[in-house]
C-alpha cells in the first residue's frame, strides 16, 4: 500500500522514488492527505538525496497535475517567460506585449516579490485600479482582448507547489535544485504553454551569485521542461548591476513606459529582444533567433508593443489611456532626494542585493509574504558599471515615505556602489550564454 510513511521511509534510505510515489505525494500535498510534518520530511529527503532526471520530470508533472491545467485554442502559439529574479527586472512588462504584437499569445502567470527581488504583480499593481487576480473566465477574456495578460496564479494552479513552497523556507530546503525546478515549472506548465524561455540570472543582484550555479539550474530547468513536453530554452544573463536604473514598483513601471513610448532604449530592450527572439524562433514565428530578436525590437520601436500594453492595462482594470498620462496616475513618494557621491571615481562594482534590500527597507518589498508594499518608494537614476562620477554627482535618487528612511537608504546605496581610481576593464556582457 502506498502512503506517506512508506514513501518517506524509502526516501530516507536513499531509494529511488518512482512516478507513482511522486504523484501520490503531490496529490496528498494538494488535498491535505500529507501533513505539514510529512511535507517537511519529504522536502528534506529530496534535498538530502536528490532525484535523478526521470524523478525530477515526474515530480514536476505530478505537481503540475495536482490542480488545473489550462488549455488554449487561440490560432497561434502560447508562449511565456520566467525569470529567476533580480533587481530592476521589469522585463515581463515589456516582453509580454511585444510578443503579442508579433503574433504570439501570452497568458503569463507571475508572482510577487519576496526578499531582495521585486515581483511582477507588485509592479503592475502600482497602476491605480489594475487587478492582477482574475478568475479563469476573465483571464481568458483579457488574453483575447490584448493578446497578453500578466496575472497571479489561482488557487487551483499547482496546489501541491503551494504546500511545498510554504514549508521549504522553514525547513532550509529552499536551495534544492530538484525542488526549485519542480516549483518553477509546475506552475508554468500548468498554463498550457507551447513554448517557454527562462531568464536565469547570475551576479550580485541574483539569487545565483556565480555562473556555475546558474548554469546548473538552467540545465536542470531546460532538460526537465523539454522532457515534460514544453519546448524550452534558457538564457543566462548578467545581474552584476540592476537591469533598469530604477528599483521599486511605480519607478520600474515608469521606466517601462519610457521604453514603450520610445523615449529610452538600453538593457531592457536588449534582454527583451534576446528572450523574445528565442521564443519566436522556437515557435516558428521567426526564421531564426536573430530574426525573432529583430521582430521584438521593431515591435517596441514602432509602438505596437505599447498599444498591446495599453490594451492589457485597461482590460485588467487600469486607466484607459495610461501610457499617455502615466505620470498623472503613478503614485509619488513624499521624500525625493539625490544620493550624491562623496568622492570622484569610476563605478567598479554594484552590490545589487544590497540595493534591493534598501528598497525593501523603504517599504517597497517584502521580508515575509504578509508585508504590505508601498508602490511609490524605491531608487531611480542608479549609476551604471563603468560610469565616471564626480564628487557631488548623484549615485541614485531615493524615493521614500519619510526623511529617516531616505537617510538610511542613502547610507546603504553609498556602501553598495564601489568607486575606483581607474575605468574598469572587461565589463560583463548582458547576455552570457544560451542553453537549448
Catalytic residue among 21, 80, 351, 374: 80
Report pLDDT for 88: 94
Q: Catalytic site residue 68?
A: no
Marked catalytic residue, from 68, 82, 308, 366: 82
**Does the active-site annotation cover 168?**
yes
Query: Is 90 exceeded by the pLDDT of residue 290?
Result: yes
Q: Tell which residue, 188, 289, 222, has the closest CA to residue 436.
A: 222
| Predicted local confidence at residue 20, as pLDDT | 95
Buried b (16+ CB within 10 A) or exposed e, 201-235: bbbbbbbbbebebbbebbebbbbbbebbebbbbbb
The pLDDT value given to residue 116? 73
Catalytic residue among 116, 123, 162, 168: 168
Pairwise CA distance, residues 67 & 221, whole Å: 21
Q: Among the options 84, 92, 117, 120, which is catalytic?
A: 120
Q: Is 81 a catalytic residue?
A: yes
Antiparallel, parallel or unpaired: β 106-110 and 79-83: unpaired
What does DSSP assign to residue 324?
Answer: G
Is 123 among the residues known to form the active site?
no
Q: What confidence score (pLDDT) does residue 170 get?
A: 76
CA distance 402 to 222: 45
Q: Is 417 helix (H, G, I), strand (E, B) or coil?
A: strand
* % of the chain residues with pLDDT over 90: 87
Q: Is 83 a catalytic residue?
A: yes
Strands across the sheet with 345-350, in order?
388-389, 345-350, 417-420
CA–CA gap between residue 414 and residue 379 (Å, rounded): 12
Q: What is the pLDDT of residues 152-201, one digit of tens each?
A: 989 999 999 999 988 887 788 877 899 999 999 999 999 999 999 999 99
CA 175 to centroid of chain Cα atoms? 17
Q: Which residue has the higher pLDDT, 119 or 234?
A: 234
Cα 295 to the center of its chain, rounded Å? 23
297-309 average pLDDT score: 98
CA nearest to 63, candidates 28, 105, 26: 26
Say what the pLDDT of residue 85 is: 85
237 part of the active site: no
200 bridge partner residues = 236
Amino acid at each position: 500500500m502506498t502512503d506517506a510513511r512508506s514513501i518517506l521511509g524509502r526516501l530516507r534510505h536513499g531509494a529511488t522514488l518512482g512516478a507513482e510515489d511522486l504523484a501520490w505525494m503531490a496529490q496528498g500535498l494538494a488535498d491535505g492527505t500529507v501533513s505539514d510534518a510529512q511535507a517537511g520530511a519529504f522536502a528534506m529527503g529530496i534535498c538530502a538525496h536528490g532525484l535523478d532526471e526521470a524523478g525530477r520530470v515526474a515530480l514536476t508533472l505530478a505537481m503540475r497535475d495536482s490542480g488545473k491545467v489550462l488549455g488554449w485554442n487561440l490560432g497561434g502559439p502560447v508562449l511565456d517567460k520566467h525569470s529567476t529574479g533580480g533587481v530592476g527586472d521589469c522585463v515581463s512588462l515589456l516582453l509580454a506585449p511585444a510578443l503579442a504584437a508579433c503574433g504570439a499569445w501570452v497568458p503569463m502567470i507571475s508572482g510577487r516579490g519576496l526578499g531582495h527581488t521585486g515581483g511582477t504583480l507588485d509592479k503592475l499593481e502600482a497602476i491605480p485600479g489594475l487587478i492582477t487576480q482574475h478568475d479563469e473566465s476573465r483571464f481568458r477574456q483579457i488574453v483575447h482582448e490584448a493578446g497578453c495578460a500578466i496575472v497571479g496564479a489561482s488557487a487551483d494552479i499547482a496546489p501541491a507547489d503551494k504546500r511545498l513552497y510554504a514549508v521549504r523556507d522553514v525547513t532550509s530546503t529552499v536551495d534544492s535544485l530538484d525542488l526549485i525546478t519542480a516549483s518553477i515549472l509546475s506552475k508554468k506548465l500548468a498554463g498550457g504553454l507551447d513554448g517557454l524561455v527562462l531568464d536565469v540570472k547570475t551576479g550580485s543582484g541574483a539569487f545565483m551569485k556565480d555562473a556555475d550555479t546558474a548554469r546548473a539550474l538552467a540545465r536542470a530547468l531546460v532538460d526537465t521542461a523539454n522532457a515534460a513536453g514544453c519546448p524550452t530554452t534558457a538564457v543566462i544573463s548578467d545581474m552584476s548591476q540592476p537591469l533598469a536604473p530604477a528599483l521599486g514598483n511605480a519607478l520600474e513601471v515608469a521606466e517601462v513606459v519610457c521604453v514603450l513610448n520610445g523615449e529610452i532604449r538600453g538593457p531592457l530592450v536588449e534582454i527583451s529582444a534576446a528572450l523574445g527572439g528565442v521564443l519566436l524562433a522556437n515557435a516558428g514565428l521567426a526564421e531564426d533567433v536573430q530574426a525573432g530578436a529583430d521582430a521584438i525590437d521593431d515591435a517596441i520601436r514602432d509602438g505596437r508593443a505599447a498599444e498591446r500594453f495599453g490594451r492589457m492595462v485597461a482590460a485588467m482594470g487600469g486607466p484607459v489611456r495610461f501610457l499617455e498620462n502615466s505620470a498623472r496616475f503613478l503614485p509619488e513618494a513624499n521624500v525625493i532626494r539625490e544620493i550624491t557621491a562623496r568622492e570622484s571615481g569610476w563605478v567598479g562594482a554594484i552590490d545589487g542585493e544590497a540595493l534591493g534590500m534598501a528598497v525593501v527597507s523603504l517599504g517597497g518589498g517584502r521580508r515575509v509574504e504578509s508585508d504590505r508594499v508601498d508602490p511609490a518608494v524605491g531608487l531611480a537614476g542608479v549609476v551604471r558599471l563603468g560610469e565616471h562620477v564626480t564628487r557631488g554627482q548623484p549615485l541614485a535618487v531615493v524615493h521614500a515615505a519619510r526623511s529617516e528612511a531616505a537617510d538610511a537608504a542613502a547610507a546603504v546605496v553609498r556602501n553598495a556602489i564601489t568607486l575606483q581610481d581607474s575605468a574598469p576593464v572587461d565589463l560583463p556582457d548582458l547576455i552570457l550564454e544560451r542553453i537549448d
